Structure 1
Amino acid sequence: MKKYLSIVLLGLVLGGVAVAQDDPLKSLFSFQQKMANNGSAGAMMKLGEMYEQGQGTEQSYDKALEMYEKARAAGHSDAQAAIARVKRARQAQNQAASQEAERAREARRRAEEAKRRAEAERKAQEARKAREAARQKARQEAQAKQRAEEQARRQAEAKARREAEARAKELERQKAQAEARRKAQERARLEKARAEARAKAKAANKPAPKESQPEQAKSDDEQFKSDPCKGPAARVMSICK
């Protein structure tokens, strides 16, 4: 029987090598699977080891534990120690995975927190820019209003000056007209006074004052025109009294 099993094992080995010469570990894994399926506890242990270390197949502590448990059931003496080792390794792997997941969650949390801070800073910066723009606009509006008020004040002052000048000119014109009327009235009174004086002298059968002396009368007339209050008629003129 043992001789038969040796021949079978040799055939399987040679067959496995022929099938997968490019990957000895996969060939060995395939051979051990066939041996384990035939009830070999040693092959079960080897499969468990290959699953445990990821040799010739994908690493899997669960499948390694499954093979070690089969080897223990088949009576292999090293199976219990292998089971304990794999459980510890799987627990460490789970802890590492948990820690890695926690680190990933922490990294995501920090990234989200950084994103929130960046967003808050962006909004704060936009708010600061909006406030500065509002202040700038208010300053520009205030300056524009001040310029408009200054221009309106200057225009009002210029208008007031023009109106004052116009009133002054009008007063001057009215004053000149009044002066002209006064002088005309004065000349009329002087002419009337002279006429009355001549009439009285004629009525009294007396020659008019200074009439016998034409040159003197002419001189008196010129003096009267230049200074009415120095002539003979000054005594009857109200303005010379």
Structure 2
Amino acid sequence: MIFMKFPRLLIAAFCFCLLVGPFSSAMAFNFSTGVFEFQQKMAKKGDPLAQYKLAYMYENGQGTEKNLDQAVAWYKKSEKKHYAPATMRLIYIETKTQGYKKSKHNAWLTKLKQDAANNDGESLFLLGTMHKDGYIVKKDLNKAARLFKNASKKGMTGAEIEYESVQAILYNQKDRQRQAESQRKARANTEKAKKDAELQSNNKKKTEKQRQQQLATQQAQRERAAAEKKRKQKEKKARLQEKKRKEQQRIAADKKAKAEQEQKAKEAKKSEEAKKAKQEEKPLVDKSMCKGKKARFLTTCR
């Protein structure tokens, strides 16, 4: 919608028709048809601007059915009246129908960018459309929005609507990005929670394993200590038993020795008594001693 310097009443009415909602589509169509008829009337009178606007409406199907042949015909009539935007639009249509050829159309693209840089409303709008569609130039909705906004400031009716349209697309993209980011964060949080739960579970298992190992170690230590205590008690008991056995052996040996001593003493006493008794039984003079030459000298033999 490239309508420059429309009467304010027409612009307001057109915007109202676009904003009131689905039930007003017939109103909007009737209004566009009215604009088309008005531009057609002015174009037939030879107004180059009206011819340009009429061509644009044929090109985009506004107020009438799309008719590219009619659009080209009216752009050419406007071009003959030296209306520069018509020339730029004709080349644009040529690239759309025959393909963009850098060797042939590069000068046109350069001029379009220069004119847009110089704040030309038509160039701003066309370049914005190309950036919006990603046609010839790189698709860049942010740049398209800036171009449409600047075109709107230059009084390009329809530029504001295109700007809002691009902003809505950007908002939806950002909203989808926010949703995607939110979903990504949710997944990340879920994954983190899962990993944290696994880590907590693993730590719990590890702690429990360590506790069980510690309990097993303590139990083993207690068992070793009990076994050691039992061994020592057994050794002590064995020592005591050995000591008792030796003491019993000593006592038995002492008893035996004492008995042997007593027996020897008895035997010695008995022997002494027997000897004494024998001695008592002997004669006072040994007759054998009274024999020989010495016997005369013994008083016992006299």
TM-score, normalised via structure 2 length: 0.51
1:123-145 superposed Cα distances (whole Å, 9 cap, x missing partner): 32332232122122212212221
1:80-99 superposed Cα distances (whole Å, 9 cap, x missing partner): 43233223212212222222
Q: CA deviation at 1:197?
A: 6.2
Question: Of 102, 122, 127, which aligns to 1:21?
Answer: 102
1:180-231 superposed Cα distances (whole Å, 9 cap, x missing partner): 222233334444555676688889xxxxxxxxxxxxxxxxxxxxxxxxxxxx
Tell me: higher relative CO, structure 1 or 2? Use CA pairs within 8 A at least 6 residues apart. Answer: 2
Number of the residue aligned with 1:79: 159
Q: Does 1:145 align with 2:225?
A: yes
Q: AA paired with 1:171?
A: I
Number of the residue aligned with 2:128: 48
Q: Does 1:175 align with 2:255?
A: yes
Relative to structure 1, the CA distance from residue 73 to residue 202 in structure 2 (aligned partners, 3 Å threshold; closer, same or farther) is closer
On the 8 A contact 1:13/1:31 being kept in 2, the answer is no
Q: AA paired with 1:104?
A: R
CA distance in 2, matches of 1:135, 1:185: 72
Relative to structure 1, the CA distance from residue 199 to residue 83 in structure 2 (aligned partners, 3 Å threshold; closer, same or farther) is closer
CA distance in 2, matches of 1:7, 1:71: 14
SS at match of 2:193: helix
On the 8 A contact 1:28/1:56 being kept in 2, the answer is no
Number of the residue aligned with 1:166: 246
Structure 1, 167-176 or 54-63: larger mean CA deviation: 54-63
Q: CA deviation at 1:21?
A: 2.5
CA distance in 1, matches of 2:119, 2:144: 16
CA distance in 1, matches of 2:177, 2:79: 46
CA distance in 1, matches of 2:86, 2:168: 36
Q: Does 1:60 align with 2:150?
A: no
Give unpaired runs (5+ residues) of structure 2. Answer: 1-77, 284-302
Question: Of 169, 172, 178, which aligns to 1:89?
Answer: 169
Question: Of 184, 203, 208, which aligns to 1:104?
Answer: 184
Number of the residue aligned with 2:209: 129
CA distance in 2, matches of 1:27, 1:125: 74
CA distance in 2, matches of 1:72, 1:200: 174
SS at match of 1:83: helix
SS at match of 1:133: helix
On the 8 A contact 2:122/2:151 being kept in 1, the answer is yes
- Matched length: 198
